[in-house]
Amino acid sequence: MSRRRTKGAAVVAALGAGLALAGCGTPSAAQTGVVNVVAGENFWGDIVSQIGGDHVNVTSIIDDPNTDPHEYESDNKDAIAIATSQLVVVNGLGYDDFVSKLVDASPSDDRATLTVADVLGVDGDDANPHLWYDTAQLPKVAAAIADALAKADPDDAATFTANAQTFDDSLQPILDVIDQIKAKYAGTEIAYTERVPGYLVEAAGLQLGIPASFTQAVEDDEDPSPKDTAAFDDAIESRTVKVLLYNAQVTDQQTTEIKQLAASSGVPVVGVTETMPPDAHDFQSWQLGQAQQLLTALGG
């Protein structure tokens, strides 16, 4: 469950080879009729695709659910994609710094960078970076994406605005499930191994029934303290927490043992992922499915 690592050498190597292959010119949206967009992760890439439609060509760097975004190392393909893009969408909050380094090393007057954390005004060293789980705030991101695309391709601005509204409307089923959870289970204590679903949990009115310092230690690539581990185990064994959510994308021996303890204690287990899985039709169906699983685990 290793989290933050330095990737400077890999980034420089990727850029050196990538930029040599890409050449000096970057085609504009006006020249191609399509805006080239690079998204750090496939969930932001999917949202860009929905808003941009036929007027965007989106490359998502992290698109494999078996890849830990915190440990991803850039390659030549990523460098070329950045060098030939007009818009880059990054999560921010240190989640995808490798993209920002590629952007900084390949400056272009024809490229804009949209950082989701900045759009939402989220900052701080300990801020939860899993912003795509904050469904109610996503219309702000959609509007920012539509605006950025319109600046690159003014002729299609109305289309981007209309598509952003369609995206906003499509979030309602997710919000409805979150409201159902809040109406029936507000105040219920749950556990999670990492803060991946943190915004979802908060929006649903659920409470964290294990030490927050446990999950923070995991995200900081540190071993949770024996005291926090004991408290986590006790919350599971005593069933004071009603559901265990775990990061299905990043597991280790400790996570496996916690899942086994939950199973033997009769605590329902729900897996969530950081990256949109390949069998998901789109961002909305992915998030709706996970919210519905949480509702079912709580008792429906």
Q: What domains are there in the chain, each with its CATH number?
A: 8-170 (3.40.50.1980), 173-298 (3.40.50.1980)
Q: What is the pLDDT of residue 183?
A: 98
Q: What is the pLDDT of residue 221?
A: 79
Residue carrying the six token digits 């601005």: 157
Instruction: Give the integer Cα–Cα distance in Å for 134 and 126.
Output: 16
| Angle (deg, nearest 10), helices 172-185 and 283-298 | 20
Beta bridge mates, 271 = 246
* pLDDT confidence band for 30 (50 / 70 / 90): low
Instruction: Give the integer Cα–Cα distance in Å for 233 and 227.
Output: 10
Give the mean pLDDT of 15-37: 60
Q: What is the pLDDT of residue 31?
A: 59
Does the pLDDT at position 8 exceed 50?
no
Q: What is the pLDDT of residue 22?
A: 45
Does the pLDDT at position 250 exceed 80?
no
Backbone dihedral angles phi then psi of residue 54, each to the nearest 5 degrees: -70, -5
* pLDDT confidence band for 75 (50 / 70 / 90): confident
What mean pLDDT is reported for the chain? 89
Nearest to 283 by CA among 92, 101, 89: 89
Give the mean pLDDT of 219-225: 86
* pLDDT confidence band for 11 (50 / 70 / 90): very low
pLDDT, tens only, 259-282:
999 999 999 999 999 999 999 999
Output 175 or 20, whichever has higher pLDDT. 175
Contacts of 222 (CB under 8 A, 6+ apart): none
Kindly compute the dihedral angle of the four CA atoms of residues 170, 176, 178, 180, in this order, to the nearest 10 degrees.
Answer: -170
Tell me what percent of the residues of the chain surpass a pLDDT of 70. 87
pLDDT, tens only, 177-202:
999 999 999 999 999 999 999 999 99
Query: Cβ–Cβ contacts within 10 Å for residue 232, how many?
Result: 23
Q: What is the pLDDT of residue 270?
A: 97
DSSP 8-state assignment for residue 110: T
Backbone dihedral angles phi then psi of residue 152, each to the nearest 5 degrees: -80, -30
Distances in whole angstroms, Cα of residue 297 to Cα of each of 53, 132, 171:
36, 22, 22
pLDDT, tens only, 95-148:
999 998 999 988 999 999 999 999 999 999 889 999 999 999 999 999 999 999
The answer to which of 92-106, 148-162, 229-243 has the lowest mean pLDDT is 92-106
Which two structure tokens, joined as six digits, stand for 130? 């899993």
DSSP 8-state assignment for residue 204: T
CA atoms within 13 A on the CB side of 139: 10
* pLDDT confidence band for 26 (50 / 70 / 90): low
Q: How many helices (H) and strands (E) does the chain have?
A: 14, 8
* pLDDT confidence band for 24 (50 / 70 / 90): very low
